[in-house]
Amino acid sequence: MRIIKKKRVNVSPPFVIAGSFLFLIALGTLLLKLPIATTTRISWTDALFVATSATTVTGLSVFDPGTTLTVFGEMVLLTLVQCGGIGLMTFAVALLILLGKKIGLQNRIYLQESFNQDSVGGIVKLVKMILTFVLTVEIIATIIMTLHWLPKFGFKDSLYLSFFHVVSAFNNAGFSLFPDNLIGFSADPIVNLVLSSLFIIGGLGFTVIIDIQQKNSFRKWSLHTKMMIVGTIIINVVAALTIFFLEYGNPATLGNMPLYEKIMAAYFQGVSPRTAGYNTLNYAVMEDPTLLFTMLLMFIGAGSASTASGIKLTTLMVVILATISFLRQRGEPELFGRSIKMDTVIRSLAITTISVLLVVASIFMLTVTEKIPFLPLAFEVVSAFGTVGLSMGITNQLSDLGEVLLSMVMFVGRIGPLTLFFLLMKPKKVHYRYPYDQVFTG
């Protein structure tokens, strides 16, 4: 008797990453359409948009989650946020670990791709450390917020509100159960500091956090960790100061606030656009320079292998360092006594180029389908691409086609433009090159 062995098909990591997000989006759409999920009927398009927004940890919504969703619907939303922020594959591997199952090589490769690791060695240990860290931080933050909101909302509501906003903040989602987001808490130091700390930590990237935990000195940190820490401090300080001065005299935002509240609100809105999505100021009444600057922050995003999106802070830093290196007539870019490979430079340029083209194309298509002024529409697209969730208040004005297009932008922004490219193009390495010739640039 002849035994025919079935050929095992190995699926590439980009397909698994994209597939896991599509699975969550589809499941979330179905759950949000259930009668027990909402207080009023919502369309399939609205359910798809919000499910996509939650899974990609964006925070944009065509309805007010606090009044439209039931407790069941809010828990669906929060589950999508948590799974989308940390990654479905991470939770799947965690479940296998709890069940005592062996983690196969293919799953380790998927995790390696998700967390941008150089090898599969120690990847399961990394997952354990990440989940432990996430749960610890979220529990501590929930306790602090619950105690703070206890006098105002009572124990049950303060615990629920705290848990929802902590999970949303850590995963850089920006969903809020308050109708005005966090505008009512612009003068609350606990809310501002706790939630901003959560989305800054979540945006650093899990590999950075683990590196800091394992190595107790700046000198021992990897170049990526050093770049993320230094870059985050610089960009946050610059962002807070810029918004403070641009909005200082605007009576609709900072103008009528006491000085300490101006500083706090400017700080919060300086760090939030790098994918967090919470706001204590109304973006619909901000000055045009502030909106343009915020769009730049949203496009940059935070760290690789984090709960954030955008082109990533290290990508921008590599492009800037490569430009400086070219102007100085040096070879590879250098920082902190280390050289950066040209492969990394080319990858960074590719990410930036594809991202710019994607954003411009998306803005163009939405200007065709929507009857909305250009600036609010462009702001919405950049917010969707960076999976930020900030809006000038036009999300609920989008047409069904506009919602679908913006959902696609959120999806691509979360999985990354290069992942999309590899899915569509299936590039193969070649072992030859054509002769060089002169091309004039600049």
pLDDT in tens, 326-336: 888 887 888 88
Query: Mean pLDDT over residues 124-144, rounded?
Result: 84
Q: Which range (88-97, 301-310, 409-418) has the least confidence? A: 88-97
Query: 156 falls in which pLDDT band (50, 70, 90)?
Result: very high
Query: 6 falls in which pLDDT band (50, 70, 90)?
Result: very low
Q: Is residue 434 part of a domain?
A: no
Residue 343, class by beta-carbon neighbours within 10 Å (0-12 exposed, 13-18 middle, 19+ buried)? exposed
What residues are paired with 339 via a beta bridge? 334
* Contact between residue 277 and residue 382 where contact means Cβ atoms under 8 Å apart: no
Mean pLDDT (the chain) is 84
Q: At 55, give phi and psi (nearest 5°).
A: -65, -35
What is the rounded CA–CA span in Å between residue 160 and residue 71? 10
Q: Is 430 or 252 the better-scoring residue by pLDDT?
A: 252
Q: Is residue 430 part of a domain?
A: no
Query: Mean pLDDT over residues 417-433, rounded?
Result: 64
Residue 346 three-state SS: helix
Residue type at 243? Answer: I
What's the pLDDT score for residue 171? 87
Query: Mean pLDDT over residues 171-197, rounded?
Result: 90
Whether 101 shows a pLDDT value over 70: the answer reads no
Query: Mean pLDDT over residues 385-395, rounded?
Result: 91
The count of other CB atoms within 10 Å of the CB of residue 330 is 13
What's the pLDDT score for residue 98? 56
Q: At 393, give phi and psi (nearest 5°).
A: 90, 20
Q: Which helix (H) or strand (E) holds 90?
A: helix 88-98
Q: Which two tokens stand for residue 210?
A: 């683990």
Q: Is residue 4 part of a domain?
A: no
Which has the closest alpha carbon to 133: 208, 66, 42? 208
Which has the closest alpha carbon to 281: 293, 294, 269? 269
Query: 150 falls in which pLDDT band (50, 70, 90)?
Result: very high
Query: 424 falls in which pLDDT band (50, 70, 90)?
Result: low
Query: 434 falls in which pLDDT band (50, 70, 90)?
Result: confident
Residue type at 428? Answer: K
What's the pLDDT score for residue 236? 92
Q: Write out pLDDT tens, residues 202-251.
A: 888 777 888 888 888 888 888 888 999 999 999 999 999 999 999 999 99
Cβ neighbours of residue 262 closer than 8 Å, sequence gap 6 or more: 244, 248, 254
Q: Is residue 439 part of a domain?
A: no
Q: Which helix (H) or strand (E) holds 319?
A: helix 313-327
Q: Is residue 5 part of a domain?
A: no
Which has the closest alpha carbon to 165: 135, 204, 199? 199
Q: Is 159 or 310 the better-scoring residue by pLDDT?
A: 159
Q: Which two tokens stand for residue 59?
A: 């925070």
Which has the closest alpha carbon to 84: 359, 356, 309, 278? 309
- Most confident among 238-242, 409-413, 426-430 (mean pLDDT): 238-242
Positive or negative, the CA dihedral 271, 274, 280, 281 is positive
Q: Which range (106-115, 277-286, 357-366) has the least confidence? A: 106-115
Domain count, the chain: 1
Q: Is 23 or 205 the better-scoring residue by pLDDT?
A: 23
Q: Write out pLDDT tens, residues 54-69.
A: 999 898 999 999 899 9
Cβ neighbours of residue 377 closer than 8 Å, sequence gap 6 or more: 363, 366, 367, 370, 394
What's the pLDDT score for residue 106? 54
Q: Is 421 or 92 the better-scoring residue by pLDDT?
A: 421
Helices (H), 217-287: 223-247, 259-271
| Strand extents, DSSP E, 35-162 | none
Positive or negative, the CA dihedral 51, 53, 56, 58 is negative
What is the rounded CA–CA span in Å between residue 348 and residue 357? 14
What's the pLDDT score for residue 193? 93
Query: Mean pLDDT over residues 382-395, rounded?
Result: 91
Q: Which range (201-205, 263-267, 320-324) has the least confidence? A: 201-205
What's the pLDDT score for residue 419? 67
What is the rounded CA–CA span in Å between residue 113 and residue 135? 23
Residue 19, class by beta-carbon neighbours within 10 Å (0-12 exposed, 13-18 middle, 19+ buried)? middle
What's the pLDDT score for residue 19? 77
Q: Is residue 441 part of a domain?
A: no
Q: Is residue 148 part of a domain?
A: yes
Q: Is residue 432 part of a domain?
A: no
Whether 365 shows a pLDDT value over 80: the answer reads yes
What's the pLDDT score for residue 432? 67
**pLDDT over 70 for what percent of the chain?**
83
Range(s) of the domain holding residue 67: 13-424
